Amino acid sequence: MNKNKISLLITTILIINLLGCSKDDSGVEEINSTSWTITVGAFSLNNGIFTALGNELIFDSKEECQVWSRTAQGDNHNSNSHLHYNAAADVSYDNNLIIFSWTEYGPEITQASIENTCSDGVNGVSKVVNDYNYYQDKPNVYLKITNVVEN
C-alpha cells in the first residue's frame, strides 16, 4: 500500500470510531442513572400453591449496604424473640428483564455488626429475583418481585 492509501485507511478508521455507537450512546447510562424501588415479597409453598407471608423487603436500586431487621424466635444466643439484622450490597436492577440481584449479608444480632459485615463484604450470599418465578430463599420461604416503582 502506498502512503495515501494508508493515510486514507487510518482516517476512515478514526471517523468510524468517532461516529460509531459507543457504550455511552447505547442508552445504558441513562437506564443506569434511574433509581428504582423494588419490593420483594416472601411466600410459602403448600400443595403447589404460593401464599404471601405478609413480609416484604424494600430495596433502592442505587443504595449500597441497605439494612433491615426481622423478629426472630428464641435461638442459641437469646431464648426470647429478638431482632436479627441483614443487609444487601452489590444491588443491581434490570428494568427491561425485571430482574433484581444483590449480595445478602447476615443475620447479625446488632445493626452495627451487620453494617460492618456488609462494608467488609464478608460471607455474602448472591440472590436473584424476578417478577415471574419464585426464588427459594429458605426451606419454605420463596421470594419474588411484587412491585417496582421508578423514583
Q: Please tell me whether residues 3 and 50 are part of one structural domain.
A: no
Question: Is the pLDDT confidence value at 131 over 50?
Answer: yes
Q: Please tell me whether residues 61 and 107 are part of one structural domain.
A: yes
Structural domain span for residue 134: 34-150
Confirm whether pTM is higher than 0.85: no
pLDDT tens column, 5-64? 444 444 434 343 334 433 343 333 345 689 999 999 999 999 999 999 999 999 999 999
Q: Please tell me whether residues 84 and 134 are part of one structural domain.
A: yes
Q: Please tell me whether residues 49 and 22 are part of one structural domain.
A: no
89, 103 contact by CB (below 8 A): yes
Q: Please tell me whether residues 71 and 4 are part of one structural domain.
A: no
Query: What pLDDT is attached to residue 117?
Result: 97
Q: In what side-by-side order are the strands of the sheet with 141-150?
A: 49-60, 36-46, 141-150, 135-138
34, 150 contact by CB (below 8 A): yes
Instruction: Pick the closest to residue 144 from 48, 40, 26, 60 (CA basis).
Output: 40
Number of domains in the chain: 2
pLDDT tens column, 52-66? 999 999 999 999 999
Question: Is the pLDDT confidence value at 1 over 90?
Answer: no
Q: Please tell me whether residues 78 and 62 are part of one structural domain.
A: yes
> Which value, to the nearest 10 degrees, does the dihedral of the CA atoms of residues 123, 131, 91, 35 take?
-160
φ/ψ (deg, to 5) at 64: -95, 155
Q: Please tell me whether residues 13 and 63 are part of one structural domain.
A: no
Instruction: Pick the closest to residue 104 from 94, 90, 92 (CA basis).
Output: 90
Q: Please tell me whether residues 12 and 51 are part of one structural domain.
A: no
Q: Please tell me whether residues 122 and 88 are part of one structural domain.
A: yes
Instruction: Pick the closest to residue 43 from 146, 127, 147, 148 (CA basis).
Output: 146
- Give the span between the Cα atoms of 107 and 104, in whole angstroms: 9
CA torsion through residues 109, 72, 106, 65, sign: negative
Q: Please tell me whether residues 43 and 20 are part of one structural domain.
A: no
* 62-75: burial string, b at 16+ Cβ within 10 Å, e else: eeebbbbbeebeee
pLDDT tens column, 108-128? 999 999 999 999 998 999 999
Q: Please tell me whether residues 15 and 42 are part of one structural domain.
A: no
